[in-house]
Amino acid sequence: MADKHDKVPENASGKYYIDNTCVPCNDCLEEAPMLLKYTDDESKVYFHRQPQTPEEQICARKAKEICPVEAIGDDGE
């Protein structure tokens, strides 16, 4: 389960985030490419912006569900 106290620092403020347990497997990027990006060193993925539309909310939830290490959370600030 993702830890909001261990977020990848690049995450945009808001509900969704990725924590430092991320192993950039690319699965989440396939679900929500409009919301997620690799860090500069490509060691983690992060939410570069929060979902704004119902469709983007669905994509964010799907990315969370598919994450093999449960690094995506939806209880952020």
Q: What is the mean pLDDT of each run of 10 residues along the chain (77 residues)?
A: 97 98 95 97 97 98 98 94
Q: Which amino acid is at 31?
A: E
- Whole-angstrom CA distances from 29 to 5, 57, 65 are 22, 14, 12
**Fold exhibited by the domain 17-73:** Alpha-Beta Plaits (3.30.70)
Strand extents, DSSP E, 1-77: 17-18, 36-38, 45-47, 72-73
pLDDT for 43: 96
pLDDT for 5: 97
